Chains A and B, each alone.
Chain A
Amino acid sequence: MEKTHPLPDERGHFGLYGGVFVPETLIPAVEELRKAYEAARKNPAFRQELDTMLTDYAGRPTPLTFCKRLTTTLGGPKIYLKREDLCHTGAHKINNTIGQILLARRMGKTRIIAETGAGQHGVATATVCARFGLHCIVYMGEEDVERQHLNVLRMRLLGADVRPVSSGSRTLKDATNEAIRDWVTNVRDTFYIIGSVVGPHPYPMMVRDFHRVIGDETRRQLREMEGRSAPDAVVACVGGGSNAIGLFYAFLKDPNVQLYGVEAAGEGLNGRHAATLTQGSPGILHGAMSYLLQDEDGQVQLAHSISAGLDYPGVGPEHAWLRDTGRVHYASATDAEAIEGVKLLSKTEGIIPALETAHAIGWLPEGIRGMAHNEVVVVNCSGRGDKDMGTIAKHL
């Protein structure tokens, strides 16, 4: 597969970022994974197996939808949505869990663990484990277990063992700590399916590769619909950054495509938020160097967002690198702007986006200002909003 830039290097670094900051016990595991993935990505049989499952099971390719009424309402460029919300389980997350479960099977791992925040990655992991009859354990912060109860029920129905995490912030950060602790303890037979472009090398690269299908499809679809494969701007929400990198990757080498990542500004950038790239500083968490929300003593701070999927104080190391090089512009949208985004897309296009996705939508009115009518913007509709109805209902 063609790479659009040569990073990460062999040691998993994107410039200053990335790497393998893990306890010694995990070194043989990440090394085994790195080798297995290197072999699999070059293996046509693996590629075939992955493509078949993405098509027959996940429902790919997902459509690219032209948003006529949204375009008219905002009065600017033509807006397209990449419809990852139509993937099986309701979000892009399944692209990655399919890739990783196929790899786990090749490696002969029988026990699967995952962390989850909003529960979308947990559901996507439980789903592929059920599909292959593998034992699945999902770590989820106690607070998220409460606010995303529907996804907990889905995971349990799919046969997963959902383990509430009561330490620290009781959200995604601590669920990830607990998953890593499980991995350290059960390193020999366990495969850890990480849910975003975070963690030690090779995860940020591997998860990106499994999601790049989003951008690759978009180029083909845009060529058919607009007669050109590169839009003028591409927009995606950023928590850990997996849906964003999946869409951006295909356009990194086109200097004329403006790339925008929208983080969660929570209650506002002066209050509680999750805008890691906009407000954070470089640091080391969960196996990699990247941007981090931290205090001056290097203690990781609590993130806040109305969306449990963006509520994470770290971000993928490739985003950190893309921020520093200036290739991607990182902006943010508040909780209130996200709610406006949900309403806007629901009313103009009949599509109820996930609260994560709604940050990208909520940013649009401001973000596309000054763009011409004949310009084209693609927004990643990374997930659907059914799971968030409880939260959304409080703001209607």
Chain B
Amino acid sequence: MQRLQEKLAACIQRGDKAMGLFMTSGFPDPESTLPVLREMDRGGADFIELGMPFSDPLAEGLPIQRSSERALQAGVRMKDTFRTAAAFCAESNTPLLLMGYANPIHQYGIAAFCRDARNAGIEGFILADVPLEEHLPFAGEAAASGLGLVHLIAPNTPDERIREIDRATTAFVYAVSITGLTGSGLGAIEHVETYLKRARSMVRTHPLLAGFGIRTHEDAVRLSRHTDGFIVGSALIEKVETLWNHESKPPKTHYEEIRRFVRALKNGDKGAEEENP
């Protein structure tokens, strides 16, 4: 978890907004996940969330649902996710988190999961269906393995609960930008900004990052005005989905396009040629 904390602290110190990127493990196919992660990294990701596919992803909109279904159909299992994660962590210092749902971890065994995650070099995890009310067994094992457990807040989360989540989370607070699913539209942007401003005034201990519904550099700039950074998932998944559905083009071009897309997310059009140090 230390690498993630240091990375976010460094971004804040430089005055940069941190960019987190989500990719489903096993998507677009089991062999291509790792090279896709590499391009996300080179394109400028400050950290990466690797999605653990689940049969019933009830907080996801269609793009991530489809990616999860495709990965499961291709036979991707938790051990494959760990393998991909370990390979990525062996070659990059960019912090890697796992994101998903409680049941696959419960079934794996929470302690065994945390141990294997730690051994793979993973920094922590985010669970979409584990709120404060149920987090203790997960948080306990995570802490024992030196992993972080990132908590989410939503636009309808009351002030006192936001403060409580700020105390309970590790690494950062994940502000879901809208009451909705991943990949939804942002709706009236003033409402999102009002909420993020409110969240900013409550979250004092940890960095605050906004996610859900961010599709472009402009969205990212706007939403990170009141936060320390932003997270993009569905838009990137859709990009990959579109590329891999054009079978005629060689994969090499796909990877270049992913890198370009990621750079543009971070820097806008003008910064699209910059290389990640």
Q: Interface on A for B, CB 8 Å cutoff?
A: 11, 19-25, 27-29, 167-168, 173-174, 177, 180-181, 184-185, 187-188, 281-287, 289, 292, 294, 296-300
Contacts and interface: CB of A to CB of B under 8 A. Distances in A.
A184 B65 contact: no
Contacts of B108: 297-298
B133 A19 contact: yes
Given A181-B181, A188-B179, A23 B56 contact: no
A298 to B, nearest CB: 3
A109 to B, nearest CB: 15
A301 to B, nearest CB: 8
A87 to B, nearest CB: 31
A27 B152 CA distance: 11
A292 to B, nearest CB: 7
B118 interface: no
B134 A23 contact: no
B87 interface: no
Contact of B133 (A20, A281, A283): A20
A299 B104 CA distance: 7
B156 interface: yes
Contacts of B9: none
Contact of A294 (B102, B103, B153, B154): B103
Contact of B131 (A22, A173, A185, A289): A22
28 contacts: A11-B133, A21-B129, A23-B59, A23-B128, A23-B129, A24-B131, A24-B152, A24-B157, A25-B180, A28-B158, A168-B55, A174-B56, A180-B58, A181-B59, A181-B181, A184-B59, A187-B179, A283-B106, A283-B107, A284-B101, A284-B129, A292-B103, A297-B104, A298-B54, A299-B55, A299-B72, A300-B56, A300-B103
A75 B118 CA distance: 63
Contacts of B131: 20-24, 27
A21 B133 CA distance: 8
Given A21-B129, A21-B130, A300-B56, A294 B107 contact: yes
B89 interface: no
Closest 9 CB pairs of A and B: A298-B107, A298-B104, A25-B154, A299-B55, A284-B103, A298-B103, A23-B59, A185-B180, A284-B102
B254 interface: no
Nearest to B80: A297
A25 B161 CA distance: 12
Contacts of B116: none
Nearest to B72: A299
Interface centre among A21, A168, A185, A282 (most CB of B within 10 A): A21
Given A24-B176, A168-B56, A184-B59, A297 B77 contact: yes
Contacts of B107: 281, 283, 294, 296-298
Contacts of B129: 21-23, 284, 287
Interface in B103-149: 103-108, 128-131, 133-134
A24 B58 contact: no
Contacts of A184: 58-59, 179-181
Given A25-B180, A177-B58, A181-B61, 8 more contacts: A20-B131, A21-B131, A27-B133, A29-B156, A184-B59, A185-B179, A297-B77, A298-B104
B145 to A, nearest CB: 19
B171 to A, nearest CB: 16
Nearest to A186: B179
B184 interface: yes
B104 A25 contact: no
A287 B59 CA distance: 12
